[in-house]
Chain A
Amino acid sequence: MSARASQGRNVATNSLAQIGHCGLFLLTLLAAIPRSFRYLRETIRQLWFVGAMSLTIIMVCGLFVGMVLMLQLYHVLSIFGGTSASGMVVALSVYRELGPVVTALLFAGRAGTAITAEIGLMRATDQISAMEMMAVDPIAYVATPRFLAGLIAMPLLSCVFSAMAIFGGHLVGVTWLGIDNGTFWANMTAVVDVRTDIVNGVLLKSLVFGAVVSLIAVFQGFTTPPTSEGVAYATTRTVVASSIAILALDFVLTAFLM
């Protein structure tokens, strides 16, 4: 009984310690931003890696999300004779929820894990220590460029995802199911608001998600035990923690922004 209680307390204190550690790490990262301007080229390389290289998966997934959403909506809405509203429902659900959330989950799986594994292996092979020996700040050279790259890449990826989803919805709805093209766009433009849907929905949410996912990925990489097993665990924890953080934050952000 007491053993179990103390174990539970251990888990609780450990998670609290992780969160506190992560918060302090964020402060270190932010403080290192001015120093990392020297390594602008490294930031661009990371942006290429987490952003440009993720485009394929983001575009394909966006296309299919839009297509399946339209297909489902069409069949439900045809019961009420409201198929003309399906374009606007696709747009609203993609802009407000699916665009930023699915992009962030894909981003955590595609880029977050890679960042954690890379930094973890750098630590395991003592590259971080070597940098410190050469008076290169590993936070400014390794951590901050990756964090900034994630911060910049996420909103852009989210926009690409949403545009592809609209395109997929248009493809299924207008080209295959025969919804009128004019109705599709007119209903969409009538309800989508730039400030609440595109700025607050797509851009702000994905900016927050990008910051959270990159922070967790970099933090897990830096705090992993420098063994091959530790790197494996850290990679798993990046995906799990990012997914929970994304979905929980999504609820909080929606409650505040709507």
Chain B
Amino acid sequence: MDAKLVNPFVSAVESVLPQMGFQAPKRTALSMRQKNVAGLGVSVIVGFTKQLRGNVVYNMDEETAKFVASTMMMGMPVAEFDAMAQSAISEMSNMLTATAATNLAGMGLEVDISTPSLSIGEGFQLKISDGPYLTVAMDVGGHPLEIDIAVEKQ
């Protein structure tokens, strides 16, 4: 897959999250991976169609998920990763993906996105493509957020 396709996703994180009260998120690493994505605890998958086809996963541990949910809810303490926190994570994934879709349109790629599906559990495996995919590690207020991107131009 084309490494240039990572930028719209990274800039979505950099532009959307500060509006929701997060300190400037940074990209910390980028790697090309094969085979399955290892679920870190909370993984949200969103699919793409039209000029790009594939999947993107927002992959994080439960601590990060609770931190993100709490920040989105104006700092309300989130002790348990409950329905409201799940809804917040799902909403964040939707916003990031929709912004990435707008960024992709700016590159001349028209895409449609599916609704996010949130998976919770220990040690599950997630296969998102038959070939290699790119993993971007980001730092969001001191918490790690992994974005796995497997999209191909049609």
Physical interaction between A and B: no
Chain A residues with CB under 8 Å of chain B are none
